[in-house]
Amino acid sequence: MNGPEDQLLAALELAHSQAARGPCASSAAFSLAAGGSGDFGKALIAAISTLGGKHGPITGARQVIYRGAWPGIPVPGWGNSFYRKGDPSFFPVEEFLKVHYLGHWDLLTDQTFQVRTNTGKPHLVPNAAAYTAVVAQILDMDLGTELALFVRCRLSAWAKLFKENNG
């Protein structure tokens, strides 16, 4: 334990816990449901229900990065309405990838160049879905199961939000 994969997973969990405290559709849905129902399970369902379409399209991002699948615009895993230069919560994950998983980092940066070129939007940056997709690939998760990793990484932040909303 505590090898590079464990350290990467810890960095991703920390990034998600910080990102979940900022402007984020899944956390907003969680907070509303937690405040309205007082039920953690219902709040969790609300948060998960926001993922996979426009928000948190992790499987789509993984297909873009590792299979070259091009679904059109918007591109799953790129773009952030709140952070035009990228979500700073994920900068430590970037640095870890550069040091320990350079091949994956190079592929992500190559795809970022392709996304910017193909969309004509030079400001697009990888987002939480893209970083989660890369870690899912490194952990050798089956395609289509990335949502579990995203949720795992957000759970501690959502639990804190629940406590704040429900004392």
pLDDT by 10s per residue, the chain, length 167 = 579 999 999 999 999 999 888 778 899 999 999 999 999 999 999 999 999 877 888 999 999 999 887 777 788 888 876 777 888 999 999 999 999 999 999 999 999 999 999 889 998 999 999 999 999 999 999 998 999 999 999 999 999 989 987 87
Q: Is 29 helix (H, G, I), strand (E, B) or coil?
A: helix
Q: Is 144 left (phi over 0), alpha (psi -120 to 50) or beta?
A: left
Give me 136's structure tokens. Answer: 């899912």
> What are the angstrom distances between the C-alpha of 67 and each of 111, 123, 126?
10, 23, 16
Q: How many CB atoms lie within 10 A of CB 103?
A: 9
**Distant-in-sequence, close-in-space partners of 118: CB < 8 Å, separation ≥ 6:** 70, 75
Nearest CA to 156 out of 61, 30, 50 is that of 30
Query: Quick one: pLDDT at residue 1?
Result: 55
**Residue 162, CA atoms < 13 Å, CB-side half-sphere:** 20
Q: How many CB atoms lie within 10 A of CB 106?
A: 12
Query: Quick one: pLDDT at residue 23?
Result: 76
The most distant pair of C-alpha atoms in the chain lies apart, rounded to whole Å, by 48
Task: Tell me the C-alpha distance between 41 and 47, whole Å.
Answer: 10
